[in-house]
């Protein structure tokens, strides 16, 4: 591989990982070259309207691009696994936000203000021995 080819493939896209609960999203932002590519998005090789059941989850994923005004500059490709649909959407939002920072570090203030760069660390608490759930105990009886 020649040095020119190596540089070209290195800058072909911006990649980042986003996580939420047990969902993991690997996101790639490709600079759009043609009019058909501008603003296109694929999730696990499906269109967003086929992957997300509601428009709300689709809007969650597009939010970082809308806030930075780069909707038409990139085509987005994401591989998502684990978690529920809402967690997957939020993981993808974090991945897109991190990839946008690699493209332009000046977006940090916009994305940070919207809290798109914060990884939501809340996960389900583990079940403890002797309890029915994480904190729910069997009914107490005096006798």
Q: How far is CA 126 from CA 22, 53, 129, 134, 139, in A?
A: 13, 29, 10, 6, 20
pLDDT averaged per 10 residues in sequence order, the chain, 143 residues: 48 92 96 82 94 94 94 93 96 96 95 95 95 95 90
- Predicted pLDDT at 10: 57
All domains in the chain, ordered by first residue: 12-113 (3.30.230.10)
- Predicted pLDDT at 8: 47
pTM: 0.86
- Predicted pLDDT at 131: 95
SS3 content of the chain, % helix, strand, coil (to 5): 40, 20, 45
């Amino acid at each position: 591989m020649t040095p020119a080819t190596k540089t070209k493939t290195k800058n072909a896209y911006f990649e980042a990982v986003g996580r939420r609960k047990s969902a993991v999203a690997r996101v790639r932002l490709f600079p759009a070259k043609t009019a058909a590519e501008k603003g296109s998005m694929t999730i696990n090789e499906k269109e967003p309207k086929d992957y997300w059941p509601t428009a709300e989850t689709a809007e969650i994923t597009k939010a970082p691009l809308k806030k930075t005004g780069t909707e038409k500059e990139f085509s987005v490709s994401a591989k998502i696994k684990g978690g529920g649909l809402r967690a997957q959407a939020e993981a993808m939002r974090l991945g897109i936000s991190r990839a946008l920072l690699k493209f332009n570090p000046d977006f940090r203030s916009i994305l940070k203000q919207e809290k798109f760069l914060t990884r939501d660390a809340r996960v389900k608490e583990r079940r403890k021995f002797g309890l029915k759930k994480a904190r729910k105990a069997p009914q107490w009886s005096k006798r």
